[in-house]
A and B are shown apart, each in its own frame.
Chain A
């Protein structure tokens, strides 16, 4: 006899998807577009992730960097065996996809507020569908600020898209750590752009994604500027093998980040990230 939760959805094996597009973003980062071979998975929300499987090498968690109907888009930096394989796949190649997993960005909490979207490096990828969603419904939000930090000009993602965001009245500010000879823009960490963003701290929702140190610094800066901690959301990264809350790897104190994250409110995340090696 047993007592298992009624209505629990099974943790299925991956669904076959096919690569239908690939674009090299930077020297080590590519964006791949996937379409289901048969039926697609349940719809993804901005901020959620999929476990994407490269045949025989394994799967990794990848946020969706664009959502269009059944088509899933992932932006992947080649750092390990699986990510290198997936980032190198050309059109026609097969992958397996599981998901959608995790919490998405809570855009309803931002209704009627100014938006402050802050990205560091690859952190722009999970924020891109959020930016798109916000700019397609401008009547719901106040001013939209997109602050982007990257290591170098060559590491900037989606440069042509940033122009479209500007055309849709978003305030897009970009800074790099290491400029090259051609760079005429800002230099330094992304928090250096905050003074030029346009927002009312008492009526702003912030969305941060990037290296943990960058999110910590930014969230603290925002708190000092008067944005309440529960109005800031961050997207956190930990090791993940299952996506379904069973493998135990993605724990951050009380949170299982594949289930309770990756998007977590800063008032919940701050005390956890303050403990070294939690």
Chain B
């Protein structure tokens, strides 16, 4: 077996079940999609039976519904309310503790509890890219977030290619899917046809190769491999949304004073749902607490949203006081200045921000509107460039 994207093997449902069991037996906390509270959420799963076999989702702006599927597929659903950052970059985390000694000195202890060793089942290509983007933000730069890096280093990633994009998906526009990119240990493509329910498996790392070797599997046949390839190609042609085919970074830079910001701000509730659902949004704030003795202090870090008016608090007041400036910050950062800061876009086209916006604001619609306004202002009246 070779490491890489070469087609290698086929697992059946029992094989996938065995994979989950094996990863758990290796001491990993296995996280995967499962049905809970009428949504497909990410949670710890005990066996393949917890996977959402036979469930799909119906997505629209501000709309999410489970739909049963006749084909019994486990991964024919697109992004749910959470992303993998829930585990790799948790909502709330203790960073260090400090104690006052008898002579009044401060003793600081870095958080040393061993990070969980995760196995992620069913990471979508868009989300795999999102993890890579958070790697650059949190694990790159002159300082690394060591807790993030430790969780990330240990994580075993089973990616699943996308064969059923949602109406809010636009990974093709962002170049992140529906075919899987680099960064996985194992990649699966689910195939359900007259010959049965099976998963084409490819190896992306030595760890992945070692795990796959311990599972019941058969060499991939031409037909399964061909069907898998065709399903992914067809998915690429069924994207529900697109981004304008322009340089989005330039579009954001050139439309900072666009009229469209007023339009979207009239709808935006500045609730921050988009930032919580986004798989790359990384912003945090800190909380410092003491116990009742006053001699033990803790530093906690938790997610925060750039939609919060206190996000830019200075002694002179907030820098971004108006809702307009806060929505503009989110969008221009996501697809524009993220490039300047971290050398990539911050958007992977997963569509979560569209689905989980309570008023259905659509990032792709806003980008198209900004592009149209810029084109109209430049006098050519053409949206296409």
* Residues of chain A whose beta carbon lies under 8 Å from any beta carbon of chain B: 1-5, 8-16, 18, 37, 53, 55-59, 79-80, 92-96, 211, 237-239, 241-242, 244-249, 251, 253-256, 259, 275-278
Contact = CB atoms under 8 A, between A and B. Distances in A.
Contacts of A16: 105-108
A80 B142 contact: no
Interface in B301-354: 301, 304, 306, 311-316, 319-322, 324-325, 329, 332-333, 337, 340-341
A259 B140 CA distance: 12
B28 interface: no
Nearest to B286: A241
Nearest to A95: B106
A277 B139 contact: no
Contact of A56 (B96, B139, B294): B294
A91 B341 CA distance: 40
A4 B283 contact: no
Given A3-B135, A254-B340, A55 B143 contact: no
18 contacts: A2-B149, A3-B183, A4-B149, A4-B153, A5-B140, A8-B139, A8-B144, A16-B107, A18-B105, A94-B104, A94-B106, A239-B313, A239-B314, A242-B284, A244-B145, A245-B141, A248-B304, A277-B324
A248 B139 contact: no
Contacts of A277: 319-322, 324-325
A242 B148 CA distance: 15
A9 B316 CA distance: 33
Contacts of A278: 256, 325, 329
Contacts of B48: none
A254 B138 CA distance: 17
Contacts of B98: 14, 53, 55-56, 96
B155 interface: yes
Given A2-B153, A238-B312, A251-B329, A92 B104 contact: yes
B24 to A, nearest CB: 19
B157 interface: yes
B177 to A, nearest CB: 19
B285 A241 contact: yes
Interface of B: 95-96, 98, 100, 104-110, 132, 135-146, 149, 152-153, 155, 157, 183-185, 204-205, 207, 256-257, 282-286, 288-290, 294, 297, 299, 301, 304, 306, 311-316, 319-322, 324-325, 329, 332-333, 337, 340-341
A237 B314 contact: yes
A37 to B, nearest CB: 6
B141 A259 contact: yes
Given A1-B183, A56-B290, A251-B337, A10 B143 contact: yes
A9 B294 CA distance: 32
Given A2-B139, A2-B149, A5-B140, A249 B107 contact: no
A55 B291 CA distance: 12
B140 A55 contact: no
Nearest to A251: B333
Given A96-B98, A241-B285, A11 B146 contact: yes
Nearest to A79: B315
A4 B135 contact: yes
Contacts of B146: 10-11
Contacts of B337: 251, 253-254
Contacts of B132: 3
A172 B146 CA distance: 47
Contacts of A247: 283-286, 301, 304
A245 B136 CA distance: 11
Contacts of B205: 1
Contacts of B314: 237-239
A74 to B, nearest CB: 16
Q: Give me the 7 closest cross-chain CB pairs, A-B, nearest first.
A: A254-B340, A248-B283, A277-B325, A8-B144, A13-B96, A244-B143, A4-B139
